[in-house]
Structure 1
Amino acid sequence: MDAIQIRPAQLTDLNPIASLLLQLGYSATEAQLQQYLNNPNRTDEIYLAESNGVVVGLISLIFFDYFPSQQQICRITALVVTEASRGLGVGTQLIDFAKDRASKRGCCQLEVTTSMRRDKTQAYYESIGFEKTSFRYIQAIEGK
């Protein structure tokens, strides 16, 4: 694979973003994504990895204050690489990019969540230095 460039997602990227999200199990129309990306109150950052002008990966980041430690944390909220590009280092490059963004924002740690069903993904994260430290519990809010 040729060199990877990582750049901010743009409105012209709606189709590849929708395709990548679908690989994670999230269905979004281009209209929904356009509305989301146009929201001036968004607090996340979304980046795409490209090879020869073709989108091969996506990472989204949020930065937040964590009261218990009085520090800022960067969380990867989505990370996906096209099936054809998996195993070629794209995911690791995206994570390295996230580490750099987190460092520049003064974060004390980078964290990522993944489905309990994704054993290979968990093994990958652990192989590159992430440590499983907690469980995440969710509860839906009625009407949302």
Structure 2
Amino acid sequence: MADTVIFRQATAEDVPAIVAMLADDPLGALREGDPGDERYLTAFARIDADPHDELIVAEDDGKVVGTMQLTYLAGLSRLGAERCQIEAVRVAASTRGQGLGRRMIQWAVDRARARGCAMVQLTSDKSRVDAHRFYDSLGFANSHEGFKRALS
């Protein structure tokens, strides 16, 4: 797999595979639904149309084996620096433990740097202790406390 994986923009045809990866863990299983639900395609169309959003897939031999969303955030802080927010990072269960997650994050960091971003940031649910160790090993600092409020 190491040399055969490519990273590319997701297409609408990738949405079921992406949703399946989002649902393939204890947290995702509680919040995701049928991959054929029209709301996923509606959300995909919105992401795909926004120049500040990129839904990326990792593909190996024609099969989607990883995904992440990159959102570029403008801000006044840090002298007006743009930041890259990495979200929804998932690796297919059949591919975990082979270094793909590390390659995906490095690819995202390189892409953000090439775009001129001053910072890359991400969030991870407090219960994902293994993910926290993974992000620490990649040089991310646990620098902020995050808060969320559900509206439905």
Scaled by the length of structure 1, the TM-score of the pair is 0.89
1:126 is paired with a residue whose SS is helix
> After TM superposition, which residue ranges in structure 1, 4 or more long, deviate above 2 angstroms?
39-43
Contact map agreement 2:81 2:117 (CA 8 A) in 1: yes
Cα gap change, 1:42/1:138 in structure 2, threshold over 3 Å: closer, same or farther? farther
Residue equivalent to 2:67: 58
Residue equivalent to 2:105: 95
Residue equivalent to 1:122: 132
Percent of aligned pairs with the same amino acid? 27
- Which residue of 31, 40, 60 corresponds with 1:33? 40
Please report how far the alpha carbon of residue 84 of structure 1 lies from its aligned counterpart in structure 2 after TM superposition.
1.5
- Output the CA distance in 2 between the equivalents of 1:129 and 1:42: 27
Q: Structure 2 regions of 5+ residues with no counterpart? A: none
- Output the CA distance in 2 between the equivalents of 1:140 and 1:42: 26
Residue equivalent to 2:146: 136
Residue equivalent to 2:15: 14
Structure showing the higher helix proportion among its residues? 2
Deviations 1:25-49 (A, max 9, x none): 1414432221112223574210100
- Output the CA distance in 2 between the equivalents of 1:129 and 1:49: 22
Q: Structure 1 regions of 5+ residues with no counterpart? A: none
| Count of aligned residue pairs for this structure pair | 142
Deviations 1:68-94 (A, max 9, x none): 212110010110001121111111111
- Output the CA distance in 2 between the equivalents of 1:85 and 1:140: 32
- Output the CA distance in 1 between the equivalents of 2:102 and 2:134: 10
- Output the CA distance in 2 between the equivalents of 1:27 and 1:14: 13
Which segment drifts farther, 117-126 or 102-111? 102-111
- Output the CA distance in 1 between the equivalents of 2:52 and 2:119: 18
